[in-house]
Structure 1
Amino acid sequence: MGLNVSDLTIARGGIKVLEGISFALEPGCAIVLRGPNGIGKTTLLRTVAGLQPPVSGRVEAAPESLVYAGHSDGIKATLSVAENLEFWAQVFGNSDIYVAIEAFQLDRLTTRPAGGLSAGQKRRLGLARLLVTGRPVWVLDEPTVSLDAEAVAMFAEAVRRHLRGGGSALIATHIDLGLPEAEVLEVGPYRAKPAEADDFDEAFL
Protein backbone atom coordinates (compact mmCIF):
# COMPACT_ATOMS: atom_id res chain seq x y z
CA MET A 1 0.00 0.00 0.00
CA GLY A 2 1.23 3.48 -0.82
CA LEU A 3 -0.55 6.65 0.22
CA ASN A 4 -4.15 7.69 -0.39
CA VAL A 5 -5.46 11.20 0.23
CA SER A 6 -9.21 11.71 0.00
CA ASP A 7 -11.06 15.06 -0.15
CA LEU A 8 -8.52 16.69 2.17
CA THR A 9 -9.02 20.20 3.54
CA ILE A 10 -6.17 21.76 5.51
CA ALA A 11 -5.66 24.94 7.50
CA ARG A 12 -2.78 27.13 8.65
CA GLY A 13 -3.29 29.24 11.75
CA GLY A 14 -6.95 28.28 11.82
CA ILE A 15 -7.57 29.53 8.27
CA LYS A 16 -8.27 27.08 5.46
CA VAL A 17 -5.62 27.20 2.75
CA LEU A 18 -6.34 24.17 0.54
CA GLU A 19 -9.49 22.11 0.18
CA GLY A 20 -10.83 19.11 -1.70
CA ILE A 21 -7.45 17.52 -2.49
CA SER A 22 -7.47 13.85 -3.52
CA PHE A 23 -4.64 11.76 -4.94
CA ALA A 24 -3.12 8.29 -4.75
CA LEU A 25 0.61 7.63 -4.50
CA GLU A 26 1.36 4.06 -5.53
CA PRO A 27 4.56 2.08 -4.81
CA GLY A 28 7.26 2.90 -7.36
CA CYS A 29 5.75 6.31 -8.13
CA ALA A 30 6.49 9.94 -7.30
CA ILE A 31 4.28 13.01 -7.13
CA VAL A 32 5.79 16.50 -7.33
CA LEU A 33 3.74 19.29 -5.75
CA ARG A 34 3.84 22.63 -7.55
CA GLY A 35 2.41 25.99 -6.63
CA PRO A 36 3.42 29.50 -5.56
CA ASN A 37 5.09 30.15 -2.21
CA GLY A 38 2.63 30.45 0.63
CA ILE A 39 -0.17 28.50 -1.02
CA GLY A 40 0.01 25.66 1.51
CA LYS A 41 2.39 23.00 0.19
CA THR A 42 4.25 22.73 3.51
CA THR A 43 0.96 22.56 5.41
CA LEU A 44 -0.21 19.80 3.07
CA LEU A 45 2.96 17.77 3.57
CA ARG A 46 2.86 18.20 7.36
CA THR A 47 -0.76 17.06 7.37
CA VAL A 48 -0.01 14.03 5.20
CA ALA A 49 2.90 13.15 7.51
CA GLY A 50 0.59 13.26 10.54
CA LEU A 51 2.23 16.29 12.15
CA GLN A 52 -1.02 18.24 12.20
CA PRO A 53 -4.67 17.23 11.82
CA PRO A 54 -6.70 18.00 8.69
CA VAL A 55 -9.85 20.10 8.82
CA SER A 56 -11.60 17.29 6.97
CA GLY A 57 -10.85 14.39 4.67
CA ARG A 58 -8.63 11.35 5.10
CA VAL A 59 -4.98 10.37 4.79
CA GLU A 60 -4.48 6.61 4.52
CA ALA A 61 -1.13 4.85 4.67
CA ALA A 62 0.23 1.71 6.26
CA PRO A 63 1.34 2.19 9.88
CA GLU A 64 4.89 3.53 10.18
CA SER A 65 5.33 3.65 6.40
CA LEU A 66 5.98 7.40 6.09
CA VAL A 67 9.09 9.43 6.77
CA TYR A 68 9.05 13.23 6.60
CA ALA A 69 11.95 15.55 5.79
CA GLY A 70 11.19 19.24 6.20
CA HIS A 71 13.22 22.43 6.21
CA SER A 72 15.28 21.35 9.23
CA ASP A 73 18.14 18.95 8.57
CA GLY A 74 17.44 17.11 11.84
CA ILE A 75 21.07 16.55 12.73
CA LYS A 76 22.93 16.73 16.04
CA ALA A 77 25.80 19.21 15.77
CA THR A 78 28.05 17.56 18.36
CA LEU A 79 27.88 14.11 16.77
CA SER A 80 29.96 13.10 13.78
CA VAL A 81 28.41 12.40 10.40
CA ALA A 82 28.60 8.65 11.01
CA GLU A 83 27.23 8.98 14.55
CA ASN A 84 24.25 10.98 13.28
CA LEU A 85 23.39 8.28 10.78
CA GLU A 86 23.94 5.53 13.32
CA PHE A 87 21.58 7.31 15.71
CA TRP A 88 18.78 7.51 13.14
CA ALA A 89 19.41 3.96 11.97
CA GLN A 90 18.94 2.74 15.53
CA VAL A 91 15.76 4.81 15.93
CA PHE A 92 14.28 3.01 12.93
CA GLY A 93 15.65 -0.40 13.84
CA ASN A 94 18.32 -0.59 11.14
CA SER A 95 22.09 -0.95 11.23
CA ASP A 96 23.47 -0.30 7.73
CA ILE A 97 24.52 3.33 7.19
CA TYR A 98 26.99 2.76 4.37
CA VAL A 99 24.46 2.86 1.56
CA ALA A 100 23.45 6.32 2.77
CA ILE A 101 27.08 7.44 3.09
CA GLU A 102 27.84 6.28 -0.44
CA ALA A 103 24.68 7.74 -2.00
CA PHE A 104 25.45 11.24 -0.73
CA GLN A 105 29.26 10.99 -0.96
CA LEU A 106 29.82 11.48 2.76
CA ASP A 107 32.66 8.94 3.04
CA ARG A 108 35.34 11.61 3.58
CA LEU A 109 33.24 13.34 6.22
CA THR A 110 32.23 10.42 8.45
CA THR A 111 34.36 11.49 11.44
CA ARG A 112 33.70 15.22 11.14
CA PRO A 113 31.32 16.82 13.68
CA ALA A 114 28.08 17.73 11.94
CA GLY A 115 28.24 21.24 13.38
CA GLY A 116 31.37 21.91 11.32
CA LEU A 117 29.82 21.04 7.98
CA SER A 118 28.86 23.54 5.29
CA ALA A 119 25.16 24.22 4.66
CA GLY A 120 25.21 21.93 1.63
CA GLN A 121 26.98 19.13 3.50
CA LYS A 122 24.48 19.39 6.35
CA ARG A 123 21.65 19.11 3.86
CA ARG A 124 23.22 16.02 2.27
CA LEU A 125 23.54 14.46 5.72
CA GLY A 126 19.94 15.33 6.52
CA LEU A 127 18.73 13.70 3.31
CA ALA A 128 20.96 10.66 3.86
CA ARG A 129 18.80 9.94 6.91
CA LEU A 130 16.02 8.90 4.53
CA LEU A 131 18.05 5.91 3.42
CA VAL A 132 18.52 4.54 6.93
CA THR A 133 14.85 4.71 7.92
CA GLY A 134 13.76 1.76 5.80
CA ARG A 135 10.40 3.46 5.28
CA PRO A 136 8.80 3.24 1.83
CA VAL A 137 6.93 6.56 1.57
CA TRP A 138 9.09 9.69 1.52
CA VAL A 139 7.33 13.01 2.21
CA LEU A 140 9.77 15.80 1.31
CA ASP A 141 9.49 19.57 1.61
CA GLU A 142 11.94 21.48 -0.63
CA PRO A 143 14.65 18.84 -0.19
CA THR A 144 17.19 20.52 -2.48
CA VAL A 145 17.59 23.75 -0.47
CA SER A 146 21.33 24.56 -0.04
CA LEU A 147 22.37 21.87 -2.54
CA ASP A 148 24.60 22.58 -5.53
CA ALA A 149 23.96 20.96 -8.91
CA GLU A 150 26.12 17.93 -8.11
CA ALA A 151 24.30 17.28 -4.84
CA VAL A 152 20.91 17.74 -6.50
CA ALA A 153 21.93 15.00 -8.93
CA MET A 154 22.88 12.75 -5.97
CA PHE A 155 19.48 13.33 -4.40
CA ALA A 156 17.62 12.71 -7.67
CA GLU A 157 19.47 9.41 -8.13
CA ALA A 158 18.62 8.42 -4.54
CA VAL A 159 14.95 9.05 -5.32
CA ARG A 160 15.14 7.05 -8.55
CA ARG A 161 16.76 4.14 -6.72
CA HIS A 162 14.08 4.35 -4.03
CA LEU A 163 11.33 4.20 -6.66
CA ARG A 164 12.97 1.27 -8.44
CA GLY A 165 12.96 -0.57 -5.12
CA GLY A 166 9.20 -0.13 -4.77
CA GLY A 167 9.26 3.00 -2.64
CA SER A 168 7.35 6.19 -3.36
CA ALA A 169 7.88 9.91 -2.86
CA LEU A 170 5.72 13.02 -2.41
CA ILE A 171 7.93 16.05 -3.03
CA ALA A 172 7.37 19.80 -2.93
CA THR A 173 10.05 21.43 -5.08
CA HIS A 174 10.53 24.19 -7.63
CA ILE A 175 13.49 22.36 -9.20
CA ASP A 176 13.29 19.91 -12.09
CA LEU A 177 14.77 16.75 -10.58
CA GLY A 178 14.87 14.90 -13.87
CA LEU A 179 12.20 12.40 -12.85
CA PRO A 180 10.18 11.94 -16.04
CA GLU A 181 8.11 9.26 -14.34
CA ALA A 182 6.89 11.69 -11.67
CA GLU A 183 3.35 13.03 -11.78
CA VAL A 184 2.99 16.78 -11.23
CA LEU A 185 0.19 17.94 -8.95
CA GLU A 186 -0.60 21.65 -9.21
CA VAL A 187 -2.12 22.72 -5.89
CA GLY A 188 -3.34 26.11 -7.14
CA PRO A 189 -6.79 24.80 -8.17
CA TYR A 190 -7.31 23.60 -4.58
CA ARG A 191 -6.81 27.00 -2.99
CA ALA A 192 -9.51 27.46 -0.36
CA LYS A 193 -12.20 30.01 -1.04
CA PRO A 194 -12.02 33.14 1.13
CA ALA A 195 -14.25 32.95 4.18
CA GLU A 196 -17.57 34.77 3.88
CA ALA A 197 -18.10 37.79 6.13
CA ASP A 198 -20.87 35.93 7.98
CA ASP A 199 -18.32 33.32 9.06
CA PHE A 200 -16.72 35.92 11.36
CA ASP A 201 -19.86 37.33 12.96
CA GLU A 202 -19.75 35.03 15.98
CA ALA A 203 -16.30 36.27 16.91
CA PHE A 204 -17.82 39.66 17.78
CA LEU A 205 -20.88 38.45 19.69
Structure 2
Amino acid sequence: MVRLCNSMSLKCAIQLGIPDILHKHGHPMTLSQLLQSIPINKAKSRMSPRLMRVLVNSNFFIEEKNSSNQEVHYWLTPASRLLLKGAPLTVAPLVQVILDPTFTNPWHHMSEWFTHEHHATQFEAANGCMFWEKLANEPSMGRFFDEAMSCDARLVAHVLTKDYKHVIGGIRTLVDVGGGDGTMAKAIVEAAAHHKMHSY
Protein backbone atom coordinates (compact mmCIF):
# COMPACT_ATOMS: atom_id res chain seq x y z
CA MET A 1 0.00 0.00 0.00
CA VAL A 2 2.84 2.37 0.87
CA ARG A 3 4.50 1.89 -2.51
CA LEU A 4 1.22 2.57 -4.29
CA CYS A 5 0.83 5.75 -2.24
CA ASN A 6 4.37 6.81 -3.14
CA SER A 7 3.81 6.15 -6.84
CA MET A 8 0.50 7.97 -7.01
CA SER A 9 1.93 10.90 -5.05
CA LEU A 10 4.74 11.10 -7.59
CA LYS A 11 2.21 11.09 -10.43
CA CYS A 12 0.29 13.86 -8.67
CA ALA A 13 3.46 15.94 -8.25
CA ILE A 14 4.21 15.66 -11.97
CA GLN A 15 0.65 16.53 -12.95
CA LEU A 16 0.62 19.53 -10.62
CA GLY A 17 4.00 20.61 -11.99
CA ILE A 18 5.70 20.78 -8.59
CA PRO A 19 9.22 19.93 -9.85
CA ASP A 20 8.91 22.54 -12.62
CA ILE A 21 7.60 25.18 -10.22
CA LEU A 22 10.54 24.67 -7.86
CA HIS A 23 13.01 24.67 -10.75
CA LYS A 24 11.57 27.84 -12.22
CA HIS A 25 11.66 29.54 -8.81
CA GLY A 26 15.39 28.84 -8.67
CA HIS A 27 15.73 28.19 -4.95
CA PRO A 28 13.83 26.40 -2.16
CA MET A 29 10.21 27.36 -1.61
CA THR A 30 7.99 27.28 1.43
CA LEU A 31 4.76 25.34 1.29
CA SER A 32 2.77 28.57 1.21
CA GLN A 33 4.82 29.77 -1.77
CA LEU A 34 4.26 26.46 -3.53
CA LEU A 35 0.54 26.58 -2.88
CA GLN A 36 0.32 29.99 -4.53
CA SER A 37 1.83 28.48 -7.68
CA ILE A 38 0.06 25.11 -7.78
CA PRO A 39 -3.36 25.02 -9.45
CA ILE A 40 -5.20 23.27 -6.62
CA ASN A 41 -8.51 23.87 -4.93
CA LYS A 42 -7.67 26.10 -1.97
CA ALA A 43 -10.08 24.19 0.27
CA LYS A 44 -7.92 21.10 -0.23
CA SER A 45 -4.60 22.82 0.41
CA ARG A 46 -4.60 21.57 4.01
CA MET A 47 -3.78 18.12 2.61
CA SER A 48 -0.70 19.35 0.76
CA PRO A 49 1.72 18.84 3.69
CA ARG A 50 0.88 15.13 3.55
CA LEU A 51 1.64 15.00 -0.16
CA MET A 52 4.96 16.77 0.36
CA ARG A 53 5.83 14.50 3.29
CA VAL A 54 5.35 11.42 1.11
CA LEU A 55 7.46 12.96 -1.66
CA VAL A 56 10.22 13.94 0.78
CA ASN A 57 10.23 10.46 2.33
CA SER A 58 10.49 9.04 -1.20
CA ASN A 59 13.55 11.26 -1.82
CA PHE A 60 11.94 13.27 -4.59
CA PHE A 61 12.26 16.50 -2.64
CA ILE A 62 14.27 17.64 0.34
CA GLU A 63 13.22 19.78 3.26
CA GLU A 64 15.38 22.67 4.38
CA LYS A 65 14.66 24.79 7.44
CA ASN A 66 15.19 28.50 7.39
CA SER A 67 17.36 29.39 10.38
CA SER A 68 15.49 32.62 11.05
CA ASN A 69 11.90 31.38 11.22
CA GLN A 70 12.24 27.57 11.12
CA GLU A 71 9.80 27.44 8.21
CA VAL A 72 10.28 24.39 6.02
CA HIS A 73 11.43 24.98 2.45
CA TYR A 74 11.28 22.36 -0.30
CA TRP A 75 13.87 21.79 -2.99
CA LEU A 76 14.73 19.41 -5.80
CA THR A 77 16.80 16.24 -5.55
CA PRO A 78 18.66 14.54 -8.42
CA ALA A 79 15.62 12.25 -8.79
CA SER A 80 13.13 15.11 -9.10
CA ARG A 81 15.35 16.86 -11.65
CA LEU A 82 14.60 13.91 -13.93
CA LEU A 83 10.93 14.91 -13.71
CA LEU A 84 11.35 18.38 -15.20
CA LYS A 85 9.12 18.46 -18.24
CA GLY A 86 11.46 20.40 -20.50
CA ALA A 87 14.69 18.71 -19.45
CA PRO A 88 16.58 16.75 -22.13
CA LEU A 89 16.69 13.65 -19.92
CA THR A 90 13.23 13.92 -18.39
CA VAL A 91 11.43 10.72 -17.46
CA ALA A 92 8.17 12.47 -16.59
CA PRO A 93 6.32 10.99 -19.61
CA LEU A 94 7.55 7.50 -18.70
CA VAL A 95 6.34 7.82 -15.10
CA GLN A 96 2.96 9.05 -16.30
CA VAL A 97 2.58 6.14 -18.72
CA ILE A 98 3.60 3.57 -16.12
CA LEU A 99 1.02 4.97 -13.70
CA ASP A 100 -1.75 5.56 -16.23
CA PRO A 101 -4.91 3.50 -15.57
CA THR A 102 -4.60 1.92 -19.01
CA PHE A 103 -1.41 0.26 -17.80
CA THR A 104 -2.20 -0.18 -14.11
CA ASN A 105 -5.73 -1.58 -14.46
CA PRO A 106 -4.55 -4.88 -15.96
CA TRP A 107 -3.09 -5.77 -12.56
CA HIS A 108 -6.62 -5.70 -11.16
CA HIS A 109 -7.61 -8.36 -13.71
CA MET A 110 -4.95 -10.92 -12.90
CA SER A 111 -7.33 -13.46 -11.33
CA GLU A 112 -9.77 -13.00 -14.21
CA TRP A 113 -6.97 -13.69 -16.67
CA PHE A 114 -5.88 -16.81 -14.78
CA THR A 115 -9.40 -18.23 -14.53
CA HIS A 116 -10.82 -17.42 -17.99
CA GLU A 117 -9.50 -18.74 -21.25
CA HIS A 118 -10.89 -16.02 -23.52
CA HIS A 119 -8.27 -13.35 -22.64
CA ALA A 120 -4.77 -13.79 -24.00
CA THR A 121 -3.30 -11.22 -21.59
CA GLN A 122 -4.22 -9.26 -18.48
CA PHE A 123 -4.13 -6.15 -20.65
CA GLU A 124 -6.83 -7.59 -22.88
CA ALA A 125 -8.92 -8.55 -19.86
CA ALA A 126 -8.80 -4.97 -18.59
CA ASN A 127 -9.05 -3.07 -21.87
CA GLY A 128 -10.99 -5.37 -24.18
CA CYS A 129 -8.20 -5.48 -26.76
CA MET A 130 -4.53 -6.28 -27.05
CA PHE A 131 -1.86 -3.73 -26.18
CA TRP A 132 -0.83 -2.75 -29.72
CA GLU A 133 -4.47 -2.63 -30.84
CA LYS A 134 -5.19 -0.13 -28.08
CA LEU A 135 -2.35 2.11 -29.19
CA ALA A 136 -3.38 1.83 -32.85
CA ASN A 137 -7.03 2.60 -32.09
CA GLU A 138 -6.24 5.56 -29.84
CA PRO A 139 -3.62 7.75 -31.53
CA SER A 140 -3.28 10.03 -28.50
CA MET A 141 -2.47 7.01 -26.33
CA GLY A 142 0.00 5.86 -28.98
CA ARG A 143 1.77 9.23 -28.94
CA PHE A 144 1.74 9.20 -25.13
CA PHE A 145 3.40 5.77 -25.13
CA ASP A 146 5.90 6.70 -27.88
CA GLU A 147 7.04 9.78 -25.96
CA ALA A 148 7.49 7.69 -22.82
CA MET A 149 9.62 5.16 -24.70
CA SER A 150 11.65 7.94 -26.32
CA CYS A 151 12.42 9.64 -23.02
CA ASP A 152 13.48 6.32 -21.53
CA ALA A 153 15.72 5.68 -24.54
CA ARG A 154 17.26 9.17 -24.27
CA LEU A 155 18.20 8.61 -20.65
CA VAL A 156 19.62 5.13 -21.24
CA ALA A 157 21.44 6.33 -24.38
CA HIS A 158 22.98 9.19 -22.42
CA VAL A 159 24.34 6.83 -19.78
CA LEU A 160 25.45 4.27 -22.35
CA THR A 161 27.31 6.72 -24.58
CA LYS A 162 28.82 8.66 -21.68
CA ASP A 163 29.82 5.94 -19.23
CA TYR A 164 30.01 2.81 -21.38
CA LYS A 165 31.68 3.92 -24.60
CA HIS A 166 33.99 0.93 -24.34
CA VAL A 167 30.94 -1.35 -24.66
CA ILE A 168 29.80 0.15 -27.95
CA GLY A 169 33.28 0.89 -29.28
CA GLY A 170 33.69 -2.46 -31.01
CA ILE A 171 30.41 -2.33 -32.89
CA ARG A 172 30.79 -1.65 -36.62
CA THR A 173 27.21 -2.06 -37.83
CA LEU A 174 24.05 -1.43 -35.87
CA VAL A 175 20.66 -2.69 -37.00
CA ASP A 176 17.72 -1.04 -35.26
CA VAL A 177 14.59 -3.13 -35.72
CA GLY A 178 11.34 -1.83 -34.28
CA GLY A 179 13.21 0.81 -32.33
CA GLY A 180 10.47 3.41 -32.20
CA ASP A 181 11.92 6.69 -33.41
CA GLY A 182 15.49 5.38 -33.40
CA THR A 183 16.60 7.48 -30.42
CA MET A 184 18.94 4.83 -29.04
CA ALA A 185 20.48 3.91 -32.38
CA LYS A 186 21.06 7.57 -33.30
CA ALA A 187 22.79 8.23 -29.98
CA ILE A 188 25.09 5.23 -30.43
CA VAL A 189 26.00 6.25 -33.99
CA GLU A 190 26.67 9.84 -32.90
CA ALA A 191 28.89 8.62 -30.07
CA ALA A 192 30.97 6.48 -32.42
CA ALA A 193 31.02 8.04 -35.86
CA HIS A 194 32.47 4.95 -37.55
CA HIS A 195 29.27 2.98 -36.96
CA LYS A 196 26.87 2.21 -39.76
CA MET A 197 23.22 2.19 -38.84
CA HIS A 198 20.30 0.49 -40.54
CA SER A 199 16.89 1.34 -39.11
CA TYR A 200 13.76 -0.67 -39.89
Asked whether the two chains share a fold, i.e. TM above 0.5, the reply is no
Report the TM range for the smaller structure's normalisation.
under 0.3
Which structure exhibits the higher relative contact order, with contacts defined as CA atoms closer than 8 Å and separated by 6 or more residues? 1
| TM-score calculated relative to the size of structure 1 | 0.26
| Larger helix share, 1 or 2 | 2
From the CA coordinates, give the structure whose radius of gyration is larger.
2
